[in-house]
Structure formats: C-alpha cells, structure tokens
Structure 1
Amino acid sequence: MRVHLSLVVFAASLTAHAASPIDCAKASTPTERTICHTPTLLQADARTTAYYEIAIGLVGMGVRGDLGDSQQAFPAVRDKCGTDKACILAAYKKQTAPLEAVIANVEKQGPF
C-alpha cells in the first residue's frame, strides 16, 4: 500500500504543475496575479489541488464534506493576503496540511 499510494501522490504532483485551478489569463484578483507571476506559488496552488483531489477520494462522506467546504472557502482566505507572497505561501501550507495528513493516515491505516 505504501509504495502504491506514494506513486499516486508523486504522479499527481507531476501532472498538477499544468493543472492549476487558477486561469492565469483570467486572473482577477491581486493575489491571483501574484500567484501567476510566482512559480513557487503556482506550484503550491497546483499541489494543493492535487492533494485535495487525492484526499477527497480516500475519505468517508463526513470528512469529504469538511474537506470540500474548506477547499471551496480557501480562495477567499488566500485572497486576504493581497500580494504578500509569504502570506500566500503560508495560506497554501495551512490548506495543504490536513490534506497531507489524510493521505499519510490512509497510507498507514487504509481508507476510512
């Protein structure tokens, strides 16, 4: 299980670089424009999306709803940072931490 899940996470992180949910051609907030012009932040955005897509498929309905609510609310939280790159990165790290925990827990104990 450990090797299989690690490969899934690795593969998702590789493909996620091109799959950011922010459409940089239509970036509408100062935060989105800052993310689009900062490779580290664009990677953090893609990583958060990839981890969410993995984690959401590994948990039961109750946790799935909580993760979905958090992910849906995240852009508003992130956008409070304005153009502060350190703040934006910290917001991504905070958003990604519970998703990483879900994946690590499933890797140890199995789903649900």
Structure 2
Amino acid sequence: MTKLSTILAGTAVAMFAQIAAAQAPMSQSQAVVPPNDPAYIDQSRLNYTQDPYVKARIARGQANAEYRAERKEARTEYKQEVGAARAERREAVKDANSTRAAEIRNEPMK
C-alpha cells in the first residue's frame, strides 16, 4: 500500500509540475528577420510555379476535376436513358397484358 501511495504522490507532483510549466509565461525574444535573406524567405512560395511536383499536383487536380465533371454528366445521361427504357418496358408490358386479357375474353370456352 505504501508503494502505491508513493507512486500516486509522485505522479501527482509530476502532473502539477507539468501544468505549472505550461502556464508559466515564456520569454520570447523577437528576432529581427532580414527582409531579403534567403534563409528566412519561404522558398516554397517563390518556386511555386517552377516546382515540377507542384505543377504535377495542379495538373492532376485539374484532370481529376474534368474527369469528375464528365463522369457526373455521363451518369445523369445514363440515368435518363435507363428511366426512358424502364418507361418503355412498362408500356410494353401494359400493352401485352391488355392484349392477352382481350384474347382471353374473346376465346370460346372449351
């Protein structure tokens, strides 16, 4: 039992120390960044249009957008065709049923 209470007390002290350290004001020195120093300039933004990986990513994104648009258009066209085919099939079934019913009514009994 004494080992457990010692472990719990140590854990509590460590936790409170971490909380106190996180809440303590930190002294930050404001470093002056030279405006044109290449070490401080964001190179990724400067080479954005020259980077082959960025160019490939942009081209891939545009190709994916075009593909999605074409796919969406093709899907709507397909759905319309399927709907028209279903309606045509329903009409054919109705005509066949009505024709069959008329034939049955007109047949003489055996």
Tell me if both proteins adopt one fold, taking TM over 0.5 as the criterion: no
Of structures 1 and 2, the one scoring higher in RCO (CA 8 A, sep 6+) is: 1
Under TM normalisation by the shorter chain, which class is it? under 0.3
After TM superposition, the score normalised by the length of structure 1 is: 0.24
Structure with more of its chain in helix, by fraction: 1
Q: When the two structures are superposed, what TM-score results if normalisation uses the length of structure 2? A: 0.24
Work out which of the two has the higher radius of gyration on C-alpha atoms and give 1 or 2: 2
